[in-house]
Amino acid sequence: MRKYLDKLDNNFFRKNQKTCPKLLIALFIMTALNFIKIPNINRIVINQKLIPKGILFSDQPKFQPLLDYFLENYPIPKPLSRFLIIIRDKHKEIDILYKENFPLLMKIKPKRWKDPIPIGDIITFNADVQEFITIETERINISDNDMFIGYISFSDINLRSIFFDFNKQHSNKSLNVFLSRSTRKYQRIIFQNAYYAAKLYNKPPDSKGMNFEILQGWFPFKRILGKEFEELYDRITKFQPTKTNLYQLPIIEAFNPERLKDILEDWRKIDIFPYETLEKGVNHYLNGDALSSIRVLIPDIEGIVRNTLPDKFKSLKQSDIPQMITEHSRTNATYNRENLLFIDAFHSYLKKVWFASFSTSTRNISRPTVSHGNAEYKEYKLEKALQLILTIDQLNFIYSNK
């Protein structure tokens, strides 16, 4: 056992937690009575203090030693899928409650929000899930005074987590916190390309010299999150050296008239969206007229934002628009650093792509170059028009709080 404990370092757990002497005494009594094989938890010590609680994932080096420790000392059957051991102090006795494959409820935001997903339908996370909200326990009776050890295996992405709390204080809340952290970790792996793309807009060039320009105007838009964007990002990085536009064909073909009609139906329901103008711009796109589509749609980002403001604030400069969208998000339920709207990155995207500072030497498509007649004709492409449609659609998610 000691070989596992020696691998745990002093930075792994919180250092300033109270010890649990009652727990140690109770476990000692149970061990003496041979009710169940219980480890001497006092051996997991950091600076002479009992390790109170923690969570580790399988991509961290300390994970396996900790899992091996629990497997060696608790009656946990194999193969592992998930388990929850509840250590309960009841009438000065200790109950060890073991829950194999304990029930979990994963809350998601589905992409198919228009129609309820029928019971029994198979959900494909990359194709059907817009966002993971949280994982919660179902029908688990755990009180604030219980202690627990839990393990979950997300077999589809080869991710495992192990978590425990020996504090005997607010255990129910603590369990939900650990499950929530597991959900966020899972989401970051499922949508890893989306997270990395968002980071490119927020950060300076990475160690490989990559920055937002490699994305050529694409963003992890809410409408294409999941399989569509993950594959698009892979194609972008694969074809980038050849400067070919072939990588964009699948996403352009995916937005057929039926799909764009669904988007327009969403937009129709939002009062601040100038529906007739937007419909005209989308129809130009469907007819293959990128120039007319962009010229009709690009002022509407500005118009939508102005429609949300009181009259005295409507005299905005173009450069103010990204900030107004972000401020709206931060004062509403749509803002969250883990939210897949990527609000902070979207702010950078708007500033760097659609509302970049005007220069007469800049000929690509943006609100300033189009309004000043400085955009070069060859830059009016279908993929740029689709990016603009998806940018407006992102405002649909932000302002409707869907």
| Residues 277-317: tens digit of each pLDDT | 999 999 999 999 999 999 999 999 988 988 887 765 567 77
CA 266 to chain centroid: 23
Q: What is the mean pLDDT of residues 209-218?
A: 79
- What confidence tier does 337 reach under pLDDT thresholds 50, 70, 90? low
Q: What is the mean pLDDT of residues 170-197?
A: 86
> What pLDDT is stored for residue 220 in this prediction?
94
> What pLDDT is stored for residue 224 in this prediction?
92
Beta bridge partners of 93: 90
Q: What is the mean pLDDT of residues 251-265?
A: 93
201: which 2 tokens?
């807009």
How many residues are recorded in the chain? 402
Report the distance separating Cα 82 and Cα 152, nearest Å: 4
**Residue 311 CB neighbour total at 10 angstroms:** 7
- Domain ranges within the chain, ordered by starting residue: 2-190, 193-400
Q: Is 41 helix (H, G, I), strand (E, B) or coil?
A: helix
Q: Which secondary-structure segment (H or E) carries 344?
A: helix 343-349
> What pLDDT is stored for residue 210 in this prediction?
64
Report the distance separating Cα 281 and Cα 351, nearest Å: 22
> What pLDDT is stored for residue 15 in this prediction?
37
> What pLDDT is stored for residue 91 in this prediction?
63
> What pLDDT is stored for residue 356 in this prediction?
84
Q: Is 131 helix (H, G, I), strand (E, B) or coil?
A: strand
Report the distance separating Cα 21 and Cα 82, nearest Å: 29
Instruction: Let me know how many helices (H) and strands (E) the chain has, helices first.
Output: 15, 9
- pTM for this model (two decimals): 0.78
- What confidence tier does 259 reach under pLDDT thresholds 50, 70, 90? very high
CA 157 to chain centroid: 15
Report the distance separating Cα 224 and Cα 292, nearest Å: 24
264: which 2 tokens?
């327009």
Angle at 190 between CA 198 and CA 154, to 5 degrees: 150
Q: What is the pLDDT of residues 20-55, one digit of tens each?
A: 444 433 333 333 333 334 444 433 443 444 567 888
Report the distance separating Cα 191 and Cα 217, nearest Å: 19
Smallest Cα–Cα separation from 11: which of 64, 47, 40, 65?
Answer: 47
